[in-house]
């Protein structure tokens, strides 16, 4: 998701020195970050030594990474039609496996945005209460310069992640799946789905839309918010633990570096302006897997091989968290 849009405030300029988050992540995953540095030194990240082909693999949803699709566009502000009906959130639920390390655990995966949002701008522009203030229901998300949309990326990674977690016995629910519902859900509904499921862990998958040259992933943690319907105080510590484990495993498995434009090199950012985090009552984080507007990151994000690595890295962070919870 781009920082230039209704669901994100512009990031603050990087501080000249690293804060306490650097110590937290470094203490958790020193081997992972060191491994990335060695990996970079001997041949680069994400697979081959050059740019990864945008048509290297098909998505698990059945559409090839290189197939044509209209680029996601910035959603304009507007007023929803008076008779617009909000469809029920799509929930992909499967029974847990008979055995596995995660049997009895519930994970909610929230694929950022929805491919249908571009056709429902009036509906997604309606305001919803996120506790600290009001925001648009949802946005269209960003895309690569070649038109591969964030919504397609997040759904593909969500499918891959679901398959990995289900093989280990988890019950996995998606906030939406394909065209069900045809747009949204709104950010408050996305949080409510995880809350209603009593998820042991929830994660929202995104990709950023920052300036070219800005590279890397970052995990967004909920700030301690107590305003209106939002009260994240009971989940901030567990969410931080989840986020640190996801960040450490993501860098180790994918080779994608921590963001060079937010987070002071830690791969961790704390925010209080996201409804999906503010309204959550279960441990939850967002992950921005890379910057779609940077050519090097875009080459990774459009590779099916790399998206499988992304799903694996996220899953290993979640598994590590659930085994300790």
> Of 231, 230, 227, 207, nearest to 217 (Cα)?
207
Q: Catalytic annotation on 288?
A: yes
Distance CA 215, CA 141 (A): 18
> Of 86, 38, 108, 124, nearest to 322 (Cα)?
108
Give the bridge partners for 8, in sequence order: 5
Give the bridge partners for 277, in sequence order: none
Handedness of CA 85, 188, 289, 265 (dihedral sign): positive
> Of 136, 135, 110, 141, nearest to 124 (Cα)?
136
DSSP letters, 111-163, are ESS-GGGGG-HHHHTSEEE-SSSEEES-----B-TT--BHHHHHHHHHHHHHH
Reading the block at residue 259, the tokens are 């963001």
- Judged on CB neighbours under 10 Å (0-12, 13-18, 19+), 228 is middle
Beta 284-291 vs 201-208: how paired, if at all? parallel
DSSP letters, 42-91, are HT-SSSSSSPPPTTSSB-TTS-BTTS--PPP-PPPP----TTPPPPPPP-
- Judged on CB neighbours under 10 Å (0-12, 13-18, 19+), 180 is middle
Q: Which helix or strand (DSSP H or E) is residue 188 part of?
A: helix 187-196
- The residue annotated as part of the active site, out of 136, 189, 256, 288, is 288
- Judged on CB neighbours under 10 Å (0-12, 13-18, 19+), 231 is middle
Distance CA 252, CA 277 (A): 25
Catalytic residues: 288
């Amino acid at each position: 998701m781009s920082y230039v849009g209704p669901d994100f405030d512009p990031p603050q300029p990087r501080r000249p020195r690293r804060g306490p988050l650097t110590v937290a992540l470094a203490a958790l995953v020193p081997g992972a970050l060191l491994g990335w540095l060695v990996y970079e030194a001997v041949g680069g990240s994400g697979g081959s030594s050059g740019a990864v082909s945008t048509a290297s693999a098909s998505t698990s949803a059945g559409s090839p990474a290189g197939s044509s699709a209209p680029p996601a566009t910035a959603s304009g502000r507007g007023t929803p039609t008076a008779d617009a009906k909000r469809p029920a959130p799509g929930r992909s639920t499967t029974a847990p496996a008979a055995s596995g390390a995660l049997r009895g655990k519930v994970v909610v995966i929230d694929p950022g945005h929805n491919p249908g949002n571009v056709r429902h701008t009036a509906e997604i522009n309606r305001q919803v209460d996120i506790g600290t203030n009001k925001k648009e229901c949802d946005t269209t998300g960003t895309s690569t310069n070649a038109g591969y949309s964030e919504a397609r990326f997040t759904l593909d990674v969500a499918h891959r992640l679901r398959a990995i977690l289900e093989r280990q016995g988890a019950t996995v629910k998606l906030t939406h799946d394909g065209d069900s519902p045809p747009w949204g859900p709104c950010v408050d509904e996305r949080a409510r789905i995880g809350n209603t499921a009593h998820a042991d862990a929830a994660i929202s998958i995104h990709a950023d839309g920052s300036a070219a040259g800005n590279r890397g992933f970052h995990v967004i943690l909920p700030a301690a918010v107590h305003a209106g319907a939002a009260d994240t105080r009971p989940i901030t510590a567990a969410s931080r633990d989840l986020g640190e484990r996801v960040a450490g495993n993501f860098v180790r498995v994918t080779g994608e570096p921590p963001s060079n434009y937010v987070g002071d090199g830690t791969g961790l950012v704390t925010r209080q302006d996201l409804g999906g985090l503010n309204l959550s009552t279960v441990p939850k984080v967002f992950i921005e897997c890379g910057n779609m507007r940077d050519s090097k990151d875009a080459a990774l994000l459009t590779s099916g091989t790399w998206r499988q690595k992304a799903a694996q890295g996220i899953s290993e962070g979640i598994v590590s968290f659930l085994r300790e919870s």
